[in-house]
Amino acid sequence: MPLNRSEKIFWIGLSSLLVVICAVFLAAPGWTYHPTPRPQSDMGHMSHMSGMGDMADMPGMQDAAAMEETPAQKAKHLADKRESEFNHHLAGVLVILAALFFLGQPALSKRWPAARYAWPMCFLIAGVFLLVFSDTEIWPFGNQSFIYAMMHNPEDVQHKTFALILLVMGVVEMLRASERLKAAWSAWVFPVVALGGCVLLLFHHHGGMHGPDAMKTMVSVQHQHAHFAEAGAGAAVAKGLAESNVKWYELFSKVWPLFMIVLGVMLVMYTE
């Protein structure tokens, strides 16, 4: 069945947007540079000695490190913190909206037939946003090239991977909603890819913690990501059960969006 006019406009527009984003990322100008690592102090070179490696985690050492920060560095760290929190909060709002659109789809579709596309669209929006704005040290916002960031910063790689996961889920579910994709395997893309994202969350590398409470903040961030993974895994498993068991479809089709709402609320409440 050929695509109708609206579908052609949507898919051409989405494809063009992604191509432009990739082209901009890969077209970093000559003035972008590779940041020079900060010189290590003599104490840093001795960190391999017995007991010395743990000194950086002591409160006194953290206070000293915080005192060495310049006003410009403190402002940059605060801006990074706000950026990260905003990205999590926006993703949380979109996840909640996706779940609500899915739960309300039967009623909404009666008045608005296109409502079936609303919930996967939320994943597409989140994926595009995260792809572009998750790491603003990368060109065109910062001074790192995309390739350099992918080769040297595990956190950037993971953020772009999360964006890809959201885009894959959004595209597949959009095609399924339009009945353009009816293959049996397509029903398993969401559960499998979502579970992969949950596993990745458990190993999420999150840098940029500074100040006297850096270690405490890092532990808190790790705990929050573990909770994200738990809620996401619940949604993925319930979605898989809904797709594989006709008898229990009605139950699990209500359960997995509830897990998504829990995940979205935790994302909205995320702090560093």
Q: Does residue 24 lie within any of the structural domains?
A: no
Using CA atoms of 253, 255, 260, 261 in order, give the dihedral in degrees to the nearest 10: 120
User: Number of structural domains, the chain?
Assistant: 1
Taking the C-alpha atoms of residue 81 and residue 61, their distance in angstroms, rounded to an integer, is 21
**17 burial type by CB count under 10 A (0-12 exposed, 13-18 middle, 19+ buried):** middle
Print the domain residue range for 173. 73-268
Q: Does residue 50 lie within any of the structural domains?
A: no
CA angle 95, 100, 104 (to 5 degrees): 150
Q: Does residue 247 lie within any of the structural domains?
A: yes
Report the CATH number at residue 176.
Answer: 1.25.40
Whether pTM > 0.75 for this model: the answer is yes
Instruction: Give the contacts of 250 (CB within 8 A, at least 6 positions apart).
Output: none
Q: Does residue 128 lie within any of the structural domains?
A: yes
Q: Does residue 81 lie within any of the structural domains?
A: yes
Tens of pLDDT, residue by residue, the chain (272 residues): 678 888 899 999 999 999 999 999 998 887 776 555 444 444 344 333 333 344 344 333 344 444 567 888 788 878 888 999 999 999 999 999 999 999 999 899 888 988 999 999 999 999 999 999 999 999 999 889 999 999 888 999 999 999 999 999 999 999 999 999 999 999 999 999 999 999 999 887 766 555 566 788 788 888 999 999 999 999 999 999 998 877 888 899 999 999 999 999 999 999 98
Q: Does residue 12 lie within any of the structural domains?
A: no
Q: Does residue 208 lie within any of the structural domains?
A: yes
CA angle 128, 190, 129 (to 5 degrees): 10
